[in-house]
Structure 1
Amino acid sequence: METPTNPTLPLRRIVQGRNPREYFDPVEMAELEEGLRAAGRVIQPILVRPLPGTDLYEIVAGERRWRAAKNVFGDDYGMPVVIEALSDEQAEAFATIENHHRAAMSHAEEAHAAKRMLMRHKGDKEEAAAALGWKPELLERRLALLICTFAVLRALTHRQIQLGHAELLAGVPPEKQDSVLAGVIAHKVPVGVLKEQLGRFARRLADAVFATAQCSTCQHNSARQSGLFDESLGEGFCQHPTHYDELTMQAIEAKAASLGDQYPVVRIVKASDGFSPLPVAEDGALGVGPAQYAACMPAACWP
């Protein structure tokens, strides 16, 4: 049944392995099956490894061909194979590399594979990237997608959204991602439109009245996405408006407390209090004069 030059195994003796691919596109699989029917055989062998203590072999690379062959030829078909004794780490690396360069895995599947490989290499990103045949930058980009919720990553895997959608959603607070995702899918929102919509809710860090040094490592700082992804809001935005507003109020309350000894009454007026704000101007009907106007500027109030 097997020869050194062209070994084959009955499909029933081949079992699924730890394939990083989760989703098999039905259209692509149907095309592959049609190709096998036309050829009358599987031309390129799959890579398998023996399962100790059994007469079975586990797929390392080639599950798409194995699935298609079972549907077209049945369990007794002699599948061409390459048999290698591989460790778990080697098998996972080969499977990821194979999928990455063939009918590509989704970026979400690659992200999960990157995380597993990073764990195998005890957090060493250089070694993990090398094991996958990736550049370190690609590893970082895939790991950054894991900020997305399970629902977002699943939608990316099932081709319900594009990579750009997921990259933009990575900056949105996790508790909001799924609701935004539902709207994107329901209304088929293009990446560019989603970017515009998210930009309306983002806060400019340049306008903050609190110290923004703490924002440099925050996952909701748009600079993080800008440095990793093709789609982002650019640098200088906080994508977590609720937290931004909380930090703003803390800064205002601290400023108000510091003025308590100087002024008998210090009141914080919020936009939600229902008042109609008047714009501060240097001159004109409501002008306050150059000195007072300068004193009202943020640089004067927030050293």
Structure 2
Amino acid sequence: MEEAELCFPQVNTSCRKTSRPHLEATVTLSVLSCITMLTMVLNLLVITSISHFRQLHTTTNFVLLSLAVADFIVGLVPMPAEIIVYRGCWILGDIMCVVYDFSSFLAVSASVGNMVLISVDRYIAICDPMFYSTKVTVKRVQLCICLCWIFSAVHSSWMLRDSLKQPGRYISCYGECASVVNYIDGAVDLVVTFLGPFLVIIVLYMRVFVVAVTQARAMRSQTAADTLQRSKPITAKKSEMKAARTLGIVVVAFIVCSCPYYCFTVAAENNLVGASSGTIELWLMYFNSCLNPVIYVFFYPWFRKAIKHIVTLQILKPGSSEANIV
């Protein structure tokens, strides 16, 4: 074994470096670095916008804030760590390897939980608008968000309990970052963070879609104009319908980006594919964290206004939190 092929030439148990064509490695690292920076910057803008401007302190936006925090964590830890892994040698030590694995599990679990909360929020807003303000209160939403993060932390700790007790127990050579999840835990994780939540999301949004289509047809009907006028208090507002469509796009994007990774996980558990060949699927799931703020830019005028206030440093002015954003 030549010294040039080792991650740490001075260590006999060092891992081998991953050899890739120089052009391919340069282009790939540049693209991944740009995605990582965009993920952190865009989600930081979402966090700053919702936290700073008082007009944006709504129940729905608090869930979006929680989702942005999870996405920011993805850009802060798992993405840079995956770039290091792509370079072929883990240079940050066993403790940081555990931090990387834990933050990855935590962010993904919290994202799934927030997607469920978004679906429940839109379901009540569209299907039961008359009681939305009484059922969905700020305190209840904040409690649900806290429970979501607590559950995600407990779930991540359980999945990585062996690595947390003894960091580096699964590495085969020095310069590697590895964790092992047994078959039963993997199956539970699949149900808890994929099959169960996604089934709930799909059922709720199918109901929202049916109600939205029914209301749209009723609004187009001239013969039902008087009836619609009388039933206005129990009909979902146009703004709520638009929010449901936007958040529906967010949910669909999350499902599309996550499905390949979970399908790969199932295939790897059954030895249908190599366990080390899921880099593209993993980055596709991480890319969703960059995609969410982009969706907000296109569909939320308040987010574009908030970005303008932040970029031009108007948020530093006294009373800027009371600015008219919506």
TM (norm. structure 2) is 0.20
Higher alpha-carbon Rg: 1
Higher share in strand: 1
Query: Whose RCO is larger (CA < 8 A, sep 6+)?
Result: 2
TM (norm. structure 1) is 0.21
